[in-house]
Amino acid sequence: MDKRKLGNSGLEVSALGFGCMGLSFANAPSKIEIIKLLHSAYEEGITLFDTAQAYGNNEELLGEALSSFRKEIVIATKFGFKEGNHQLGMDSSSKNIRATVETSLKKLKTDYIDLLYQHRVDPNVPIEEVAGTIKDLIQEGKVKHFGLCEVNAETVRKAHAIQPITALQSEYSMFYRGPEKEIIPTLDELGIGFVPFSPLGKGFLTGTINADTDFDKTDARNMSPRFNKENREANQALVDLVVSIAKKNNATPAQIALNWLLTQKPWIVPIPGTTKLYRLQENIGGTNVSLSNNEINDINARLETIKISGDRYPAQIQAKIGK
């Protein structure tokens, strides 16, 4: 697989990463199957593995699965919640950052974290203080690179002035293009990489979801207004577009969605997640699709005519993030 550098940091990773959060869901495969899946990802050329302390037993799984080739990969994890538990609320105090880093190092069976993200902004701790703590951890050798998740351009600039940011992680796909307004231009200016999560629109861009789809009662998409029946029906035009492009290119809709992201900037590295080997292989195939400049321009022009209905999150959460 081709490699990409995350901005000006020099951190080189595979063009496609692996988002590991789903490996800790209630309906996830067995540990043996998960380890086989992660090994397959590495064997297929994936070197960026994304986890977080807030993802249940995720770090432990990665620590066991990836230890045999630790030096050949990049592990990204996250801090920002009390005791690493999102249910306890945010805490990006220096004391908590240091405590959660030590815990992550033990769980991941490593003595350094390649890329450490602040999972969410803590309104009680100035971002400059957070960046200062990470700067100290980098000087101590426990962390190699600093990242932020789901922040605005102003926050990026404030943090970057204290400790250069290697990557920003936020949602970005054909299904959610909010970062194009301010975030991507800011990252381009400052030389920061972009790691989109949910690059397949939480499955919507795979072409396997429509207005009649019934989600399992435990499925988090039940909480998203964007995935209610009416909005799925309203947003079907986007799926139809992706499916039509896929047919013309002898590819799957997921591969088109991933390749579209890869064409936007050379420092964008999507991190699709899956629990299935065939989906992993399908996603990797997205790096081999060759969309021409004319096709990309046509897709972008047609995307401008499609209005996406529904917020990403429930009203209470949407009000907090303001986007």
What three-state secondary structure class fits 57?
coil
- Strand-pair partners of 250: none
Instruction: Name the residue range of residue 229's domain.
Output: 3-321
Query: Please, are residues 101 and 71 in contact by the beta-carbon 8 Å criterion?
Result: no
One-letter amino acid at 284 equals I
pLDDT at 316: 66
Q: How many domains does the chain have?
A: 1
Vertex 155 angle, CA 80 and 149, to 5°: 40
| pLDDT, position 220 | 85
Question: What's the DSSP call for residue 175?
Answer: T
* Domain containing residue 230: CATH number: 3.20.20.100
Q: What's residue 236's pLDDT?
A: 95
Residue 251 half-sphere exposure, CB side, CA atoms within 13 Å?
27
* Phi and psi at residue 51, to the nearest 5°: -140, -170
Residue bearing tokens 């100290």: 136
Residue tagged active-site, from 42, 55, 117, 172: 55
Structure token pair of residue 158: 């404030």
The H or E element that residue 194 is part of is strand 193-197
The confidence score (pLDDT) of residue 319 equals 56
pLDDT in tens, the chain (323 residues): 999 999 999 999 999 999 999 999 878 899 999 999 999 999 999 999 999 999 999 999 999 999 999 999 999 999 999 988 888 899 999 999 999 999 999 999 999 999 999 999 999 999 999 999 999 999 999 999 999 999 999 999 999 999 999 999 999 999 999 999 999 999 999 999 999 999 999 999 999 998 899 988 888 898 899 999 999 999 999 999 999 999 999 999 999 999 999 999 999 999 999 999 999 999 999 999 999 999 999 999 999 999 999 888 776 665 565 55
> What b/e string do you get for 66-90 counting C-beta neighbours within 10 Å, with b at 16 or more?
beeebeebbbbbbbbbbebeeeeeb
127-139 vs 94-108: helix axis angle to the nearest 10?
40
172 catalytically annotated:
no
Per-residue pLDDT at 318? 59
Residue 93 DSSP label: -
Nearest to 64 by CA among 35, 21, 23: 35
Torsion angle of C-alpha atoms 133, 270, 16, 247, degrees rounded to 10: 180
